[in-house]
Structure 1
Amino acid sequence: MTTVDHLRQVRLGNLRTVLLALVDRPGSRADLAARTGLTKATLSNLAEPLLAGGILVEEPATLAGMGRPSKPLRFHPDGPVAVGAEINVSHLAVETLGLDGETLERRLVPADLRKASARDVLDRVCALIREVTGPRPLLGAGLAIPGVVHDGVVVRAPNLPRLVGEPLALDLSRRLGVEVALDNEANLAALAHLWPRHLAGEDFVHVTADVGIGAGVVLGGEVYRGVSGFAGELGHVVIERDGIPCTCGSRGCVERYAGLDVILREAGRRRLDSLRRALSAGDSKAVDAVRHAGEALGVGIATLTNLFDVPTVVLGGSYAVLYDHLHDAVRSEMDSRVLAGGERHTRLVASPLGEFAVVRGAAGLITRRAVQQPERLFA
């Protein structure tokens, strides 16, 4: 490595340090120097191109106690944004996220996409993205799908078979004119609980549900994907050997007992909001449907907990919405089946991000890359 290359790497490393500090909270040059260990002169040199590029803004000077007035640096309110999009079986969702982790706009549109073509789906996704991004510079897009992803292509999606083999990331990138990163929706929902804030610690499983059920496994602060990206397929963990046939070709999978469409069918409801109202009213059919789903889900979660020994399980998506009615049944199965339960109690909590964890994680995938790889901000 030449001296020039070395100096460039040092500068990029310092930029990354500063940006990560600003993700945590705004600060003056003096404050940032204290928090990062960099000198004030270095901070000033690093800040100038970020200010000139509209990535940061310097607020008016304020006097806090003795000494010179402070001029805090923060991410520019009109600076570049990332967008996250989710293609699911029963809905489309999008969200824009600033570099500071603030949500700017979001949309969730119910839609039955089981038989939709890739072209039709991407047409609708693009229309939603254009609604929420506006005129601000776009850093890139994260795209989430309930299936197994490899090199920007869906290789397995039992509930969205027409999207398998389609180059979704490349097609969407061409339409938007920016880089698009495609990933599994459960992994991205888990990432939303890691970036830009740790919401569930560094070791947990995040379980989310629509028609299918996915689990994002987080170990040591990183999403665990497995060798081929198949890790976390909780929906296809078998809980009844000769049970109900599943779309994956197996039988007795968790999602055939605890998927949202199963819950709605058993409750005699068509939509999640209708189910919530029925549960609030104490409708016995709805209560029984959710309890039975919770028991099946609890068996699957106990299996994951025994495998990965995590201290926290986060219920997200539809499960977060139904958490108060699911909790007891899930907890009961976990208490009786988790082997380490006597030595260490596994927390069961609802995601604070609810139905938007997936799109927040998809957008966060882009903002995290931009902060960790500052050269992307100047591309």
Structure 2
Amino acid sequence: MHDVKTIRAKRGTNQEGAGAHNKRVIIDALRINGPLSRADLARATRLTKQTVSNLIEALELDGLVMSEDVVRNGRGQPSTPYRLVPDGAFAIGLQIDRHSTRAIAVDLVGNVLARAEAALPPDGPVGGARVILGLIEAVRTDLQALRPQSERRLAGLGVAMPGPFGLAPAPDDPWMMGAWQTFPLLETLAAGTGLDVALQNDAAACATAERMVGAAHGLDDAVCLYLGYGIGAGLILGGELYTGAHGNAGEIGMALLSDGGRLTPLEHRASMASLCHALGLDPAAGNLYDLISERVRAEDPALSAWIAAAAGDLRLAIHLIETLFDPQAVIISAAAPAELAERLIAAIEPLLPSNAVRPGRTTARLKAGMFDPWAVALGAAAEPIGRAFEPRFSAILKEAAAR
């Protein structure tokens, strides 16, 4: 008797008319686990073997799945593993920050194929939109040069930028991109690119990237604490990204902390913007990473003081996250040099007691995530692919309504 390997997959449904959902279930299982046989897929998704065979054949015709070489296991029946075809779909991700923008093109499994970045002009979204459309066009052209079939398999454009969304920011509030909040961004991008466009906050996009290729891979319940200009939390709950009623779930940077009787938001105290203020650096500087790294290596007293204070605030934030959401792990990601992030995470330990302290725990409560300026754009690019291919209850509802 051989051991049955553990396969992570969502459950399909054998009821009539659920084909779209079941296709997404198969794609998701192959994305998470890698190559699987039809028997593996049937066992993991609770679908019948005949249903899985029909789905595999349909996905092969769609150019999304292909077979690998037959595997022979001792005396057992030989099996044929199936895997996703990377060139089965493509997407473009866009990050809009206060001073810069990044665009990235990926394939179905998250391989980065093209990317570009540019500084945003100071005149706000009117001039910024022209820069962004030019950047997207450049990445799209590079992608098509590498993959000529990409245009007809382009799932869409995912956009990530700081939230919160739908509020009325004060015009001079540096923590909210007020002019961008009221600008018809999605309409402008859809008209300029001809693509389906969706918006999410940067912390949610970073969490998606962590789940796809980072520290949250293999976790169904994790919270990504993202330190950018401000601070946000991307919530992966029950294997899906949770965004809240208005797309503003996880805006933990706006949480008020007491400071000698005065309440100040967390992001005013522990974000990259607060670090720049403490060090007298310009957040818009093109060589900001290098300037911060120099201060880290020089053991700058102002930087050390900021780390000590920020670590205390983030330690409390992690305690609240663990208490509220009971995640398998909290992941810290940052638009910061790795050497700074590593010192900050070390200073946060030891964590405060919480309901995350339990016998038999195998996953670290706090994990280091990506310290990569491209992480948010990567997560943004994953959104159109997820929208097209991840299993969601809406797929069942749409098929039922069509019958």
- TM above 0.5, yes or no, is yes
Residue-by-residue CA offset, 1:97-138 (whole Å, 9 max, x unaligned): 22223333334x36366x542232332222222333322131
Q: Which moved more, 1:345-354 or 1:34-43?
A: 34-43
Compared with structure 1, are the counterparts of its residues 204 and 22 closer, same or farther at alpha carbon in structure 2 (3 Å cutoff)?
Answer: closer
Distance 2:355 2:388 in 1: 40
Q: 2:154 aligned with 1:147, yes or no?
A: no
Residue 111 (structure 2) aligns with:
102
Instruction: Indicate the SS of the match to 2:349.
Output: helix
Q: Show structure 2 runs of 5+ residues with no match.
A: 1-14, 145-149, 283-287, 396-403
Deviation at 1:353, TM superposition (A): 6.5
Query: What is the match of residue 18 of structure 2?
Result: 10
Partner letter of residue 289 of structure 2? L
| 8 Å CA contact retained: 1:186, 1:358 | yes
Between the two proteins, the alignment pairs up a number of residues equal to: 354
Q: Given residue 141 of structure 1, which amino acid in structure 2 is its aligned partner? A: L
CA distance in 2, matches of 1:223, 1:17: 16
Distance apart, 1:38 and its partner CA: 6.0
Q: 1:155 to 1:86 in 2, by over 3 A?
A: farther
Shift of 1:172: 0.9
**CA distance, structure 2, for counterparts of residue 33 and residue 202 of structure 1:** 21
Q: How far off its partner does 1:87 sit?
A: 0.7
SS at match of 1:124: helix
CA distance in structure 2 between the aligned counterparts of 1:365 and 1:139, rounded to whole angstroms: 9
Aligned to 1:365, which of 370, 383, 386? 383
- Cα separation, 1, equivalents of 2:191 and 2:80: 41
| 1:124 and 2:136 matched | no
Q: Which residues in structure 2 correspond to 1:1-379 (within 5 Å)? A: 9-23=17-31, 24-27=33-36, 45-47=54-56, 50-57=59-66, 73-107=82-116, 109=117, 111=119, 115-133=122-140, 134-135=143-144, 136=150, 137-149=153-165, 158-195=175-212, 198-199=216-217, 201-240=219-258, 252-270=264-282, 271-318=288-335, 321=338, 322-332=340-350, 334-335=351-352, 338-340=353-355, 347-352=365-370, 354-372=372-390
Q: Is the 8 A contact 2:207 2:236 kept in 1?
A: yes
Residue in 1 aligned with 2:6? none
Q: Which residue of 1 aligns with 2:401?
A: none
Shift of residue 54 of structure 1?
Answer: 3.9
The percentage of aligned residue pairs carrying the same residue is 29
- Deviation string 1:347-372 (CA, Å, 9 cap, x unpaired) is 22211464333222222221122113
- The TM-score with structure 2 as length reference comes to 0.73
Per-residue CA shift, 1:17-59, capped at 9, x if unaligned? 3322332323566765676566776556545554454444556
User: Over residues 59-79 of structure 1, what are the superposed CA-to-partner deviations in whole Å (9 max), with x where a residue is unaligned?
Assistant: 6x5675789997764444433
- Whether the 8 Å CA contact 1:290–1:326 is kept in 2: the answer is yes
Taking a change above 3 Å as real, the CA distance of residues 72 and 296 of structure 1, as seen in their structure-2 partners, is closer
Distance in 1 (alpha carbons) for counterparts of 2:96 and 2:247: 18
The more displaced of 260-269 and 35-44 is 35-44
SS in structure 1 of the partner of residue 183 of structure 2: coil
CA distance in 2, matches of 1:204, 1:159: 26
* In structure 1, distance between residues paired with 2:321 and 2:30: 36
Partner of 1:252, secondary structure, is strand
- Unpaired segments ≥5 residues, structure 1: 1-5, 245-250
Could you tell me how far apart the structure 2 residues matched to 1:70 and 1:302 are?
Answer: 47
Q: Give yes or no for contact 1:22–1:100 (8 Å, CA) kept in 2.
A: no
Q: CA deviation at 1:343?
A: 6.0
Cα shift at 1:147: 0.9
For 1:28 and 1:273, the matched residues in 2 are separated by 48
What root-mean-square deviation, in Å, do the aligned CA atoms of Structure 1 and Structure 2 show? 3.6
TM normalised by structure 1 equals 0.77
Residues 331 and 366 of structure 2 are in contact (CA less than 8 Å); yes or no, is this contact kept in structure 1? yes
Query: Is the CA contact (8 Å cut-off) linking 1:147 and 1:155 kept in structure 2?
Result: no
- Listed one character per residue, the Cα deviations across residues 258-280 of structure 1 (whole Å, up to 9, x for unaligned) are 22122123234441232123212
Are 1:237 and 1:253, in contact at CA under 8 Å, matched by a contact in 2?
yes
Structure 1 residue 162: Cα displacement: 0.8
